[in-house]
Structure 1
Amino acid sequence: MPSHDSEVFRIGSFLLTPARRELSLGEDAVPLGSRAFDLLLALVKRRGQLATKNDLMTEVWPGVAVEDNNLAAQISALRKVLSADPSIARMLQTVPGRGYRLVAKVELLESDTRPHARASRTRPQLGETPTLIVLPFANLSSNSEQGYFSQGLSQTISTDLSRIAGLLVVSAATASTFEGRNVDVRQVSRELGVRYVLTGTVHRSSRNVRINAQLTDGETGFQLWAELFDGDASDLHSLQDRITGRIANSIGRKIFSAAANDQILRNVNPTASDLVMRGIAADVRPQSLEVLQEQEDLFARAAELDPGNSEALARLSRAIVLQATQAHASSLKMANALSRGVSAAERAIAIDPSNPVAHFAMGLVHVLRRDFARSVLANEAAIALDRNFALAHNNLGNSWVHLGDGKAALRAIETALRLDPLGPQLGASCTVLGFTRLLLGQVEESVRCFSRARAANPMLPRAHAGVAISLALSGDLRAARTAASDLLELAPHYRLSETIDACLPTSPPQYRDFYEQFLCPGADLAGLPM
């Protein structure tokens, strides 16, 4: 790209300085990969005019043959960066079949008069998007050829984490410049303006692989999270896939919790993005009516402040609808709230069709409407956008149960548990697994699944219902009736026929048989209201 000497471009709240190859927001440098920087500059120069795909590929990848998906990936990364300024968040437009244009107002400043030095980065400001870099994992194996696996692992983790809405991940290309260097994570944090640094090591001996990953607060140097992963080296790709999903789910929660705690400690009037972050952080607690109502309040306030916030609307819909699908609240109360949940999900998708949470929320809406075929499609769309979305896999399994396909349900729910085996929503996942085992006629297995669900989350009414029904079918009527009593104490309004597990005239024959031969007899024996 040609030099622009001392020119500085203002795009919304951002300043772009080509000579220093720097993008900044306020007083902080924004981490941006080399290709993404060149792409932004190419779009900025055109002042809202169309940039064709061929033009952009020629300018950003001169002399290199690249595929369209490389350009699409860099555009996606740019959109995540620009989303930090709501005023221009949706101004990077796609012109189908032709190219892209940046329609935000671009102002050319005469020169760069700001101080050039940024010796240190201040604590992230309220409302700032959490930022992360995944440094190349170190290869501790005696065989240097195994370095490809550690490189691939760190790059795949970076890609997986970049799919998490609300998290800004530095490109793998930038991270690769630190490969083989003995770095201080605090120095990396200062240089790139990132708050969180993920590091790791890979050791392979014979047929075993051990991976040690750590998440560090780059500002303080404190370790926030660490985990060891052991696996069979005979299928490295499968091992890598399993580990990256686990890491993405675990540290995604950890980062949002840490960031939300920072905001709460500052005791400053929250903005929409702050409220969304606090709502996401609340999800680190097992699901309950209280937690869902807290999230509903936070996301509703965020959507009121920023009606175009797709993430707030999607999560608002989820919080409302889950209160009904898990039998937390009475059907009468939820009938009044359902329209709000439906509206929020539909608006979220209209604003951002690439938001996986929005499609997941719509999948829950379809569950509440008992349209399980459409719920399958919605959750499959969410998973296509974020393959590590454990809750979408879980809801997909639940939908297959209600369509009477136990094998498809089992595949989906086992994937959910593989991706997030110890997360706060373990109770919900084990509940779906319990209904799946029951659908497959595996009564004793279902007892174990429902019991594990209830132990993981004693506040989950549907888990109590599953325990009561499965225990009754296994012949332990005393324990079944105790479980039913516990359920009615937790949810006095409970009626099997008013839950999502009820059978409707539109239910497939397989589910009707399951309902009549398993659920109804089990509920009757346990003393559950029908």
Structure 2
Amino acid sequence: MSDQRAPNLSVGDYWIDRGDERVIGPKGPVRLGHKAYQVFCALADRRGRLLTKDALFETVWDGMFVSESALTTTIRELRRALDDDPRHPHYIESVYGRGYRIVATVEEVDGPIPTNGVPHVEPVQQKPTVEAGQPPRLAVAEFRDAAVQDRAPYVGATMREEILLGLSRFREIQVVDAALSVSEGSERDYRLDASFLPDAKGLKANVRLQRLGDGGIVWAETIPIDSDGLGAGVETIVRRIVGAAFPALDQDLSIGIGDAAGTLFDRYIVAKRQSIDAQDRATAEDAARQLEAIIAEKPNFALAYPPLVRLYHIDYNYTALGSSGPTERRRALDLAKAGLAADKSHVHSYTVLGFCHLYHEEYDQARSCFDHALERNPFNPERLNEVATGMTYLGDFDRARALFEQSAGIQPFADDASQEDLGRLALLEGDIDTAMEHFGKVTVASLWSQLCAAATLRHRDEKAGAKAIKRWMERVHAGWHRPIPPTDDEVFAWFRFHHPYKDDAGKPLIDLVGKALNID
């Protein structure tokens, strides 16, 4: 009968002896508790890939309910036994909020393992490679605050911990609780660091996001902090840093990959960007095929689901107007549920499922999804705007406005999408003048901002508004999914199909658009 026991392994300077269930180091056998030994074996078996906390609880603790402190205590014991510094790890790296991975070289061992210790060899620092399907790493370095210790003791440690928690909510990155240098990072790793200095009104934080592949600075900002209100203002400052750092990283990563489709994650980034930027139906449908292929290849790759759901919801990025129907909406709902099942911590999965429920008139389920999204990541301005829009459709205008303001506090500049959101909200609240002011600030009008602007203009100026409505109808006819142009009734039904208001929440807008399109 063959021996089915897992192979012995060398992990850096240490050996795992499966037969005796022990670890041998440079000085001989290492004292380890049984759980610490099991955790070390589980991490080593992953060969440098992420092992989530849930997976460790399921395997090492056999699914028993234990507190997370049991795992952190075991990791601490293991690091102490391996003489590993958690800030500059040679063996166990923390992926903040998610799990751990082995960073040392792991190899299978043939033959007997020495019991009196093994020759010590300085670990060779190799640039890590990015595993297919894994997001880039973001290392959060120590925040330097020695210059302000007299007026704000512990500000660096406090702020860093809050930012680690905030960034760990973004599933598109892996947050590492360590200070990686340029030589230690891969071409797709990043580092966030900050230094606190005295300022006229208190102190200031110089924050920067650096690309470790070449040392390039991706984003940097100086943020003034009033020392008198430091305690109350920590959350606001954290939101601002987190809310700026992630979009900068995401954009830099997208540019860096270009059109090359290498790893699964590269393919996802290319397809996601294509799904958002598509100007014609063929390009949008190609993005959908790429995303479908990624999901078929790796169903638990949760990031691929939201952009695909979006394409099916909104006429392939509005490149084939009127093409989304009940079939596409059912497919979108199935995908959204599968995406959330793949990763229940991925906040975007909650918002896209929320919109699926809206489109199916399942309003209580939609609200629940939006509440979950808000609870899990209040630092992402894009997600905040999505939840606010969802609340608008549900008729909760006060909450929607508060969320739009919260988003603006993180990302203070108002882009076209923000102006459209605020204009539509003002219109629903009956404030036509404010709505027109917001729509007037849109530089490149979307289909819906152009329609809202034309409808409100027609309400004020019949002749000018009629011309604006005519231009909008020409745009719709040019982009319709079939050669035969739609009737006015079809256009109005299409508008209603894409604006799933609960009860009478959308009545002011619906009446205004109906009147503009001469619908009784």
Aligned to 2:417: 428
**Contact 2:363 2:502 (C-alpha < 8 Å) held by counterparts:** no
Of residues 296, 317, 338, the one that matches 2:329 is 338
Deviates more, 1:356-365 or 1:489-498: 489-498
Aligned to 1:299: 291
Instruction: Map 1:128-139 to 2 at 5 A.
Output: 128-139=134-145
For residues 293 and 333 of structure 1, the distance between their equivalents in structure 2, rounded to whole angstroms, comes to 12
For residues 275 and 361 of structure 2, the distance between their equivalents in structure 1, rounded to whole angstroms, comes to 25
Q: For residue 114 of structure 1, report the CA deviation from its aligned partner.
A: 12
For residues 284 and 319 of structure 2, the distance between their equivalents in structure 1, rounded to whole angstroms, comes to 9
Q: For residue 272 of structure 1, report the CA deviation from its aligned partner.
A: 3.1
For the structure 1 residues 160 and 48, does the alpha-carbon distance in structure 2 shift closer, same or farther, using more than 3 Å as the test? same
For the structure 1 residues 122 and 59, does the alpha-carbon distance in structure 2 shift closer, same or farther, using more than 3 Å as the test? closer
For the structure 1 residues 333 and 361, does the alpha-carbon distance in structure 2 shift closer, same or farther, using more than 3 Å as the test? closer
For the structure 1 residues 419 and 49, does the alpha-carbon distance in structure 2 shift closer, same or farther, using more than 3 Å as the test? closer
Instruction: Map 1:381-460 to 2 at 5 A.
Output: 381-422=372-413, 426-452=415-441, 454-455=442-443, 457-458=444-445, 460=446
**Contact 1:185 1:216 (C-alpha < 8 Å) held by counterparts:** no
Q: For residue 391 of structure 1, report the CA deviation from its aligned partner.
A: 3.1
2:212 aligned with 1:218, yes or no?
Answer: yes
For residues 228 and 281 of structure 2, the distance between their equivalents in structure 1, rounded to whole angstroms, comes to 45
1:116-169, Cα deviation, whole Å (9 max, x unpaired): 532441664665531111223333755534142233222222221111113111
For residues 414 and 376 of structure 1, the distance between their equivalents in structure 2, rounded to whole angstroms, comes to 19
2:472 aligned with 1:487, yes or no?
Answer: yes
**Contact 2:94 2:176 (C-alpha < 8 Å) held by counterparts:** no
For residues 529 and 113 of structure 1, the distance between their equivalents in structure 2, rounded to whole angstroms, comes to 85
1:12-42, Cα deviation, whole Å (9 max, x unpaired): xxxx989599967999x6799xxx99x9999
2:494 aligned with 1:498, yes or no?
Answer: yes
TM-score by length of 2: 0.71
Aligned to 1:248: 242
For the structure 1 residues 347 and 521, does the alpha-carbon distance in structure 2 shift closer, same or farther, using more than 3 Å as the test? closer
Aligned to 1:350: 341
Q: Give the SS at the match of 2:222.
A: strand
For residues 18 and 107 of structure 1, the distance between their equivalents in structure 2, rounded to whole angstroms, comes to 15
Greater helix content? 1
Instruction: Map 1:114-513 to 2 at 5 A.
Output: 117-121=123-127, 124=130, 127-139=133-145, 142=148, 144-171=150-177, 174-175=178-179, 185-187=181-183, 189=185, 195-205=189-199, 207=201, 209-230=203-224, 232-237=226-231, 239-264=233-258, 267=260, 270-281=262-273, 295-323=287-315, 329-422=320-413, 426-452=415-441, 454-455=442-443, 457-458=444-445, 460-473=446-459, 475-477=460-462, 479-492=464-477, 495-500=491-496, 507-509=502-504, 511=505
For the structure 1 residues 523 and 40, does the alpha-carbon distance in structure 2 shift closer, same or farther, using more than 3 Å as the test? closer
Q: For residue 196 of structure 1, report the CA deviation from its aligned partner.
A: 0.9
1:41-74, Cα deviation, whole Å (9 max, x unpaired): 9987x59685844864664567xxxxxxxxxxx9
Q: Give the SS at the match of 2:172.
A: coil
For the structure 1 residues 414 and 207, does the alpha-carbon distance in structure 2 shift closer, same or farther, using more than 3 Å as the test? same
Instruction: Map 1:65-80 to 2 at 5 A.
Output: 77=96, 79-80=98-99
**Contact 1:323 1:329 (C-alpha < 8 Å) held by counterparts:** yes
**Contact 1:472 1:522 (C-alpha < 8 Å) held by counterparts:** no
For residues 149 and 340 of structure 2, the distance between their equivalents in structure 1, rounded to whole angstroms, comes to 48
**Contact 1:390 1:419 (C-alpha < 8 Å) held by counterparts:** yes
1:180-215, Cα deviation, whole Å (9 max, x unpaired): xxxx9425648xx98211122334535455333211
For the structure 1 residues 390 and 57, does the alpha-carbon distance in structure 2 shift closer, same or farther, using more than 3 Å as the test? closer
Letter in 1 for 2:476: A
For residues 214 and 287 of structure 1, the distance between their equivalents in structure 2, rounded to whole angstroms, comes to 34
Q: Give the SS at the match of 2:214.
A: coil
**Contact 1:341 1:365 (C-alpha < 8 Å) held by counterparts:** yes
Q: For residue 113 of structure 1, report the CA deviation from its aligned partner.
A: 10
Q: For residue 362 of structure 1, report the CA deviation from its aligned partner.
A: 0.4
Alpha carbon RMSD of aligned pairs, Å? Answer: 4.7
Counting aligned pairs with the same residue, the percent is 16
Deviates more, 1:256-265 or 1:443-452: 256-265
Letter in 1 for 2:331: R
Aligned to 1:91: none
Aligned to 2:89: none
**Contact 1:328 1:461 (C-alpha < 8 Å) held by counterparts:** no
